[in-house]
Amino acid sequence: MTLAAAAVHPGFLSPTGIEIAFVLVGVATFGAALITVTTKQLVHAALWLVVALGGLAVEYLLLTAEFIAWAQVLIYVGSVVVLLLFGLMLTKAPIGRSPDADSGNRWVALGVAAAAAVTLGWVVVDAFRTTWIGLDGPAQGSTEVTGTFLFRHWVLPFEALSVLLLAALVGAIVLSRKRSKELS
């Protein structure tokens, strides 16, 4: 490899500031996700989920996909987590430690999660081994390109998700009303 080729394609051992920030935010996001699934308090899990989803939004910003980052904040942090917290409040789920939050299958779940993580990592590294992203040209994740792609190919899944979230909210309301009638 010549010196000019090395300048065009920086190596793995010469990270830029954005790459270092990407790794640091990724580690923090992974830590928040790990706390989300290991805590026994449901409200704390929902709040750590906010941190994990916010970390993903920061990762999208570092990848210059601003539209996807703000969609992540608005849809997931702003809607899904709020819906989850409302569902917890409406169903009068236990706020403190929940004994039924632990099924006793932690080691099996850890093994499956580790195998899935290794497989996913291997597939991503293998798929993008020789791919370099040029940051000098127009942004690939621009709002126009992303919006066109989303509304052309992903309209039905978004609508299905909105119906699913609405059904979950209605179900939470129905469950909370049944319990209040039983207590009366």
Identify any residues that bridge with 97 across adjacent strands, giving them in sequence order: 41
Q: What share of the chain is helix, strand, coil (3-state, %, to 5)?
A: 75, 0, 25
| Confidence band, pLDDT 50/70/90 cuts, at residue 27 | very high
* Tens digit of each residue's pLDDT (9 = 90 or more) over 67-120: 888 888 888 888 888 888 777 777 766 666 666 666 677 788 888 989 999 999
Q: Which residues contact 76 (CB under 8 A, 6 or more apart)?
A: 53, 56
Instruction: Tell me what pLDDT residue 57 has.
Output: 93
Instruction: Tell me what pLDDT residue 80 has.
Output: 81
| Confidence band, pLDDT 50/70/90 cuts, at residue 145 | confident
Range from 24-28, 94-98, 131-135, 137-141 that averages highest in pLDDT: 24-28
* pTM (whole model) above 0.75: no
Q: What is the distance between the alpha carbons of residues 146 and 68, in angstroms, rounded to a whole number? A: 8
* Tens digit of each residue's pLDDT (9 = 90 or more) over 28-70: 999 999 998 888 787 888 889 999 999 999 999 998 888 888 8
Instruction: Tell me what pLDDT residue 55 has.
Output: 94
